[in-house]
Amino acid sequence: MTAIIEAHRISKTIAPGGQAAPLPILRGIEFTAAPGEFVSILGPSGSGKTTLLRCLSGLTALTAGTILINGQPLSALSAKQLALLRRTTLSYIFQSYNLLPALSVLENIVLPLRLSHHPINVQAVQRLMAELRFKADLHQRPAALSGGEQQKVAIARALMTKAKLIFADEPTGALDSLSRAIIFDKLRALAVSGACVVMVTHDIAQAAKTDRTLILRDGRIAAIDTRPTERRLFEAMQSAEQVRP
């Protein structure tokens, strides 16, 4: 099947400033994923997982390499074209929620639809939030919500767009076990329906239920498991967390 996203030898380096040497975050990563795939990314803290996700989605510029979405290089797109791509093709679930404080829960959820001039179905939003076990009022603002409830709003915003490519950065980190299972099932259903889901997680049990798992270490792909199990992923994570001499 034709890949929806391709990354060829992508690298990201940051300059801390002062006399400090440039710091490599990603080092020559190769990655492809197709519609209908659910890919998880594991790795120790600081291994580059979130940076990789942000680069793949075009939120963070590369230092080197090429990323293509539907065969189109992101580097060739203008800021306006990138914004359109994010409204029509991909969604991003932020670990930090990234909600607009001046907007209500409902307004935050439907904002991408409004920007894309798509019809707003408030009843569909209400049904989705009920399925996500969201307990607060849809007219409240994010500051009045717990971290877990804010995370559900961020997830609902991505789900409502029905994007073909979903990037999820620790989407269940602030949730209880039942809510985590519900969200994971929603993401799995998107992949089954033909979307591509790329998820950063620390949850080995969830990663073991995805189609493929990448293990990152020091900005490189240390291992790829195409039939992940909890035992193999646990062993791979132990290996990745070992301090090199």
**What is the C-alpha to C-alpha distance for residues 172 and 175, in angstroms, rounded to an integer?**
5
Q: Is the separation of the CB atoms in 65 and 28 below 8 Å?
A: yes
Q: What is the pLDDT of residue 18?
A: 65
Two tokens, residue 220: 């490189």
- The residue type found at 3 is A
Strand partners, 14: 23
The secondary structure of the chain, three-state, reads CCCCEEEEEEEEEECCCCCCCCEEEEEEEEEEECCCCEEEEECCCCCCHHHHHHHHCCCCCCCEEEEEECCEEHHHCCHHHHHHHHHHCEEEECCCCCCCCCCCHHHHHHHHHHHCCCCCCHHHHHHHHHHCCCCCCCCCCHHHCCHHHHHHHHHHHHHHCCCCEEEEECCCCCCCHHHHHHHHHHHHHHHHCCCEEEEECCCHHHHCCCCEEEEEECCEEEEEECCCCHHHHHHHHHHHHCCCC
Q: Residue 131, class by beta-carbon neighbours within 10 Å (0-12 exposed, 13-18 middle, 19+ buried)?
A: middle
Q: What is the pLDDT of residue 245?
A: 43
pTM score: 0.94
Q: Is the separation of the CB atoms in 199 and 171 below 8 Å?
A: yes
Which CATH architecture does the domain made up of 5-14+23-100+162-241 adopt? 3-Layer(aba) Sandwich (3.40)
Mean pLDDT in each 10-residue stretch from start to end of the chain (245 residues)? 94 81 93 98 95 96 96 92 89 95 98 92 97 96 96 96 96 92 96 97 96 97 96 92 61
Q: What is the pLDDT of residue 19?
A: 65
* Residue spans per domain, the chain: 5-14+23-100+162-241
